[in-house]
Amino acid sequence: MARRRIVITGIGGLCCLGTNATDIWRAMRDGTCGISPLAIPDRHDLKTAIAGQIAMLPEHGFDKRRTMAMGRFGLLAALAAGEALGQAGLAADRRPDMRIGAVIGAGVFGGDAIERAYRDVFLEGRKRADIFTVPKAMPSSPAVNVSMVHGLTGPVFGVTSACASGNHAIAAALDLLRLGRADAIVAGGADAPLTYGVVKAWEAMRILARTACRPFSADREGLVLGDGAGALVLETMESAERRGAPILAEVAGAGLSADASDIVAPTVEGPAAAMRDCLADAGLDPADVDYVNAHGTATVGNDRTETRAIRAVFGTHADALSVSSTKSMHAHCLGASSALEAIACIGAIRDGVVPPTVNYGEPDPECDLDVTPNEARRREVNVALSNAFAFGGANAVVAFRAVEKS
C-alpha cells in the first residue's frame, strides 16, 4: 500500500516580524530585522538589552472566561492556529466532518504565570497564587488551548524538546496522519520567554547577544530570545484535494536523532544523522535539496557544528546549497522557532526566494557555506530542509517539497 502523502493547507504565525504569516514571510523576504530594545516591566538587574518582541497582539474574540485560564504562550498558539485553520478552510463555522487534532511544541513553560505567582505570594503577600497558574504554565497548555478554542477533538498533545519542539511536533503530526489517526493536524510551536526570571536564567549561560543576532558571522555575540508561535495545518493529499483546499507545500519527510552526549554542547554526528534520516524518509538524495533553513543560533558551538554536519551530509553539494538563519530577524523563539522557520521554507518554495541571514559582518572560516548574507536571493526552491537542534542533543529535521499532484 502506498504511503499517504501529507500536505500543508494552512499556515499561521506571530513574532516580532508580524502577527500573521503573510507579514512574517514578507519581512523575512525583505531582510527586515524585528529585534528591538527589550521592554518588559521590572527589569531589575537584567543585562540583556534586546529581544524579539510582539508589539501588539491582534484582536481575537476568544471567550473571556477561557482566556482567564490561558497563559501567553497558550494565547499565541491559539491565535496562530486560528489563522492556519482559516486559510485551510477549516474554521469552526464552516468545518466539514473531519477528525482534526493538535500537536504543539513548547521549549520551556508558561514563565509569565509562574512569575505572576511568585510576585503575588512573595512580593505582594497574597495567601495563594492564581487558581489557574498550573494550567497556564504547563507545557501542554498551547496544545490544549488550541484544541479548546477551535473545537478540535482529534489527537491532542504537547511536545517539549527545548529548541527542537516545533519540528518534533510537525514530525509527530506527520506520523499520526500517515497512520490514519486523524484527517488533519494543527502542528507547530509556541513560547513566551520574555519574563524576568526566564531571561535571567538564560543570562547565566553567557550566550545572549548584546547588540544583534549574527549567525555564522565571525563577529557573532550569541543568541537573542523572542516571543512567538507558528502553526501549520497538515492533512493527507486525498483530503485536501477532496475539499479543494489550498495546497501550499508537501511535508516530504522527517528525521529524528539524539546526540546522547552533552546537555549543551552539540555534536556533528547527531544533527547529521537527523538530516540523513530525513532525506531517507522523504526519498530524497542530498543533491535534491536547494535550501537549508539552519538552526543558526549565532553561538560559536552551534554555527560551526551545524556547518560541519551539513558538509558531512551533503558532501560536494554543500557548496551548491543556499543556507540561511532567519533567527537573525525573528530571534530565537525557542519551541516556536522551527514552526516559524517552516513559514520561511514554504515561502521560499512558493516564491522562489531564499530569505537572508541579516546582520552578517565578517566571514568565519569555519562557517564556509553560502549563508545568504544580508540580502535575499532569487532561486528556484523545490526542496527545503528545516534544521532544529536542541539542548541535550534532541535533533529534528523536516523536509518540505513543492507539490506535484498525484
- Tell me, what's the pLDDT at 383? 98
Rounded CA-CA distance 259/269 in Å is: 7
Taking CA atoms, 117 is separated from 66, 113, 121, 227, in Å, by 19, 6, 6, 20
Could you say which of 150, 295, 330, 345 is catalytic?
Answer: 295
Which sign does the torsion angle of CA 21, 169, 342, 134 carry? positive
What structural domains does the chain harbor? Answer: 6-243 (3.40.47.10), 253-401 (3.40.47.10)
Q: Smallest Cα–Cα separation from 240: which of 346, 98, 382?
A: 98
Return the pLDDT at 44. Answer: 84
Asked if 254 and 396 touch (Cβ cutoff 8 Å), the reply is yes
Beta bridge partners of 52: 226
The string of pLDDT tens digits covering residues 299-356 is: 999 999 999 999 999 999 999 999 999 999 999 999 999 999 999 999 999 999 999 9
Rounded CA-CA distance 36/55 in Å is: 10
Longest dimension (CA), the chain: 64
> What's the pLDDT at 42?
80
- The pLDDT value given to residue 295: 98
For residue 44, indicate whether it is catalytic.
no
263's grid cell? 546537555
Q: Which grid cell sits at 182? A: 486523524
Cα-Cα-Cα-Cα dihedral sign, residues 313, 318, 321, 324: positive
SS3 per residue for 193-206: CCCHHHHHHHHCCC
In a structure prediction context, what are the per-residue pLDDT tens digits for the chain, which is 406 residues long?
Answer: 678 999 999 999 999 999 999 999 999 999 999 999 999 988 889 999 999 999 899 989 899 999 999 999 999 999 999 999 999 999 988 888 999 999 999 999 999 999 999 999 998 999 999 999 999 999 999 999 999 999 999 999 999 999 999 999 999 999 999 999 999 999 999 999 999 999 999 999 999 999 999 999 999 999 999 999 999 999 999 999 999 999 999 999 999 999 999 999 999 999 999 999 999 999 999 999 999 999 999 999 999 999 999 999 999 999 999 999 999 999 999 999 999 999 999 999 999 999 999 999 999 999 999 999 999 999 999 999 999 999 999 999 999 999 975 4
Query: Catalytic one among 278, 332, 345, 367?
Result: 332
Strand order in the sheet with 322-324: 156-159, 100-105, 184-191, 228-236, 6-14, 249-258, 394-401, 383-389, 291-293, 322-324
Kindly tell me the burial class for residue 181, based on how many C-beta atoms sit within 10 Å of its own C-beta (0-12, 13-18, 19 or more).
middle
What global pTM score does this model have? 0.97
User: Cα–Cα distances in Å, from 118 out to 111, 185, 193, 195?
Assistant: 11, 36, 16, 12
Residue 317 annotated as catalytic: no
Q: Which residues pair with 208 in a beta bridge?
A: 223
Q: Which of 163, 213, 278, 333 is catalytic?
A: 163
| Strand ranges for 150-248 from DSSP E | 156-159, 184-191, 228-236
